């Protein structure tokens, strides 16, 4: 069997077009959705991610502000910037690019964002609402995975979903979103005994580990949908996922490539969350 490749780029374009309609409807009422991205320091990967976020906003005609602060920025200065953005009517979504330099308390910084503008969905109020199934802002990467599954027509209800990784930004919210769609969910971590036993039982396997080519063909159930969240550089400097694409595509029913799978969806859902924030803040929410 050779798996069907899930084209994240094409699905992202389709989803962006849907959200552009909503953004345009707001603009017709005089409201341009606006996103502010704060980056502290010079992390090379973060700079690329931020540039892509700003580009996606421009594509949909959104207003965006790209705020660069030096790596030795005092916490008080960052909190003051967030406070100003919380009160800025042109800005509906605020995100602080992680990781932050070590002297800054990421938890305190995230909690300073107005939860109604927390388009990353990291504020505790939104995390709590995710648990109860009511968050307006699901975290962008797992939200993007859900949309990929739905647009590809992969059934979720009653299926066994196995997630490898339990981070607050990917693994845990992924588990909750799948659970809300009535999957039976298993979360595996670095402490899991006999990982392959669990992954081989997955109808939907989500890899969010951060280890190049970690999931191999022998760890996958024939016909499974395999979603690769990982972004890693291999020894040759090439971008690769957590899934060994060559061996897994021979076993799986569906597979996402890296690049061109989950990545474009993450940014798309961030823009979607910003449009939704603008709808809610302006009282025009659907």
CA-based diameter of the chain, in Å?
56
Among 165, 204, 227, 251, binds ligand NDP (CB under 6 A): 165
Stretch that binds ligand NDP, among 81-89, 111-119, 174-182, 223-231 (CB under 6 A): 223-231
Query: How many residues are given for the chain?
Result: 286
Which range binds ligand NDP by CB under 6 A, 17-25, 66-74, 149-157, 184-192? 184-192
Q: What does the alpha-carbon distance between residue 286 and residue 284 come to, in Å, rounded to a whole number?
A: 6
210 binds ligand NDP (CB under 6 A): yes
Q: Which entry of 7, 53, 221, 242 is annotated as an active-site residue?
A: 53
Contacting ligand NDP within 255-274 (CB under 6 A):
262-263, 266
Helix runs in the chain, H state only: 8-28, 44-59, 75-86, 106-111, 124-132, 140-152, 171-180, 195-199, 245-248, 262-282
Determine which one of 7, 116, 118, 120 is catalytic.
120
- Exactly one of 93, 136, 230, 257 binds ligand NDP (CB under 6 A); that residue is 230
Number of residues that bind ligand NDP (CB under 6 A): 25
- Closest contact distance (angstroms) between CB of 266 and ligand NDP is 3
Q: Which of 52, 216, 232, 247 binds ligand NDP (CB under 6 A)?
A: 232
Report if residue 127 touches ligand NDP, rule: CB under 6 A: no
Bond from prior residue into 99 cis (ω within 30 degrees of 0): yes
Q: Is residue 170 close enough to count as binding ligand NDP by CB under 6 A? A: yes
Cβ–Cβ under 8 Å, residues 279 and 285: yes
Evaluated on CA atoms 28, 31, 33, 36, the torsion sign reads positive
> Does 121 contact ligand NDP by CB under 6 A?
no
Residue ranges in 33-92 that form contacts with ligand NDP under rule CB under 6 A:
none
> Least CB distance from residue 211 to ligand NDP, whole Å?
6
Rounded Cα distance, 188 and 163, in Å: 6
Q: How many helices (H) and strands (E) does the chain have?
A: 10, 11
190 binds ligand NDP (CB under 6 A): yes
- The C-alpha atoms of residue 222 and residue 201 are separated, in whole angstroms, by 10
Catalytic residue among 7, 81, 97, 221: 97
SS3 266: helix
Q: Which is nearer to ligand NDP, 82 or 258 (CB)?
A: 258
Examine the residue annotation and report whether 53 is marked as an active-site residue of this protein. yes
The smaller minimum CB distance to ligand NDP, of residues 82 and 219, is found at: 219
Helix intervals (H) in 114-256? 124-132, 140-152, 171-180, 195-199, 245-248
* Residues at the site binding ligand NDP, with contacts judged by CB under 6 A: 141, 164-167, 169-171, 188-192, 195, 208-211, 229-232, 262-263, 266
Q: What is the set of active-site residues?
A: 53, 97, 120
């Amino acid at each position: 069997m050779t798996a069907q490749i899930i084209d994240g780029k094409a699905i992202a374009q389709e989803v962006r077009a849907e959200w552009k309609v909503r953004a345009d409807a707001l603009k017709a009422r005089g409201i341009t959705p606006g996103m502010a991205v704060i980056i502290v320091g010079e992390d090379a990967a973060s700079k690329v991610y931020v540039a892509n976020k700003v580009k996606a906003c421009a594509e949909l005609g959104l207003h965006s502000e790209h705020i660069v602060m030096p790596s030795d920025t005092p916490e008080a200065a960052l909190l003051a910037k967030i406070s100003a953005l919380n009160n800025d009517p042109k800005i509906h979504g605020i995100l602080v690019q992680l990781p932050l330099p070590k002297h800054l308390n990421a938890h305190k910084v995230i909690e300073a964002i107005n939860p109604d503008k927390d388009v990353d969905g990291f504020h505790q109020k939104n995390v709590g609402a995710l648990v109860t199934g009511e968050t307006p802002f699901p975290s962008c990467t797992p939200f993007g995975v859900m949309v990929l599954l739905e647009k590809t027509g992969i059934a979720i209800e009653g299926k066994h979903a196995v997630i490898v990784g339990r981070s607050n930004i990917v693994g845990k919210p992924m588990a909750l979103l799948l659970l809300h769609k009535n999957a039976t969910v298993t979360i595996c971590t670095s402490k899991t005994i006999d990982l392959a036993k669990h992954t081989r039982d997955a109808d939907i396997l989500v890899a969010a580990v951060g280890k190049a080519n970690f999931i191999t063909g022998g760890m996958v159930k024939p016909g499974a949908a395999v979603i690769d969240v990982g972004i890693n550089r291999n020894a040759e400097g090439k971008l690769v996922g957590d899934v060994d694409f060559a061996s897994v595509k021979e076993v799986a029913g569906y597979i996402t490539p890296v690049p061109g799978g989950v990545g474009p969806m993450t940014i798309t859902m961030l823009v979607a969350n910003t449009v939704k924030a603008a709808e809610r803040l302006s009282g025009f929410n659907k």
